[in-house]
Structure 1
Amino acid sequence: MPADRYQPLLQLVHNRAGDSFRGAVQYDADDWSVLYIRDELATGQLRDSMATIVERARNSEPVVPEDQYEQLGATQALVELHDRAVLLHFREGPSRGLLASLDRDVAQGLGQFVNSCNAVLDDRKDSGNSAV
């Protein structure tokens, strides 16, 4: 998948999170690519861990599937809050998605941030489908 496909989302994250944007990785069933990584985080340890991280993302499932409990609605993003970072997992299909990492302080107002990211993803998806 071309990295420029995600440029509108990366721009949104940069604009909203600024220097708190840690990195972003896109993946599909066969491959993955780093879209952005903050310089001081581009370590050998991260590089060595990335294949495992992506594989875990491919295999993750929502805690509350909509078909089992529809009162919550569809899952928009999975969020992991860590000591120093928050990880947002945007699933775009059964084995495709995007992982974005932000400094933990960005977790304030997280719901609005996730909505903005999903709006960008939805706009990109709609414009991509109309070109077919």
Structure 2
Amino acid sequence: MTERRYQTLVQFVSTRAQRYFRTAVHYTEDGWEALYRRGDLPAERAERRTSAVVEKARARDPLREPDSPFGDLDATVELYENGVFIIIRESATEGVIVSLERDAARNLAGFVVECERIVSGD
């Protein structure tokens, strides 16, 4: 069963990103759960693609050095020609991946901060 905070996140992203919201996935050390998938996206290969993206998110190392004053990595944003991935880390092996259309990247910093707040339960 999907936790309430993830349902809240999907509702928030749906409201803010509207038609630009593509997918949301919660991942753990040994699995993942699709939280949202826009209805017009092709179903073909979706599970394989999602598994590959989750594996890459789990394996990602922060750019900062361990003694950096920046602190822990909270989120990563990957901006592509036709889309955006936002990876919100809950731990080294758990988090949420949100994908959006590129046009949703306006005012991205504030949007990411609000998504983090929802996932952390603050």
Q: TM-score, normalised by structure 1?
A: 0.83
Percent identical: 36
Corresponding residue of 1:22: 22
CA distance in 1, matches of 2:64, 2:42: 34
Q: Does the 8 Å contact 2:74/2:90 carry over to 1? A: no
Q: Residue 84 of structure 1 aligns to a residue in which SS? A: coil
| 1:37-116 matches, cutoff 5 A | 37-65=37-65, 67-70=66-69, 72-116=70-114
Q: Residue 97 of structure 2 aligns to a residue in which SS? A: strand
Task: Report the alpha carbon displacement of residue 73 of structure 1 after superposing the two structures with TM.
Answer: 4.1
Q: How many residues align?
A: 121
Structure of greater Rg: 1
The answer to which structure, 1 or 2, has the higher relative contact order (CA under 8 A, 6+ apart) is 2
| More helix per residue | 1
Task: Report the alpha carbon displacement of residue 74 of structure 1 after superposing the two structures with TM.
Answer: 3.5
Q: Residue 88 of structure 2 aligns to a residue in which SS? A: strand
CA RMSD for the aligned pairs? 1.6
Q: Does the 8 Å contact 2:76/2:88 carry over to 1? A: yes
CA distance in 2, matches of 1:33, 1:121: 15
CA distance in 1, matches of 2:46, 2:86: 17
CA distance in 2, matches of 1:4, 1:121: 10
Q: TM-score, normalised by structure 2?
A: 0.89
Q: Does the 8 Å contact 1:76/1:90 carry over to 2? A: yes
Q: Residue 30 of structure 2 aligns to a residue in which SS? A: coil
Runs of 4+ that moved beyond 6 A: none
Unaligned runs of 5+ in 2: none
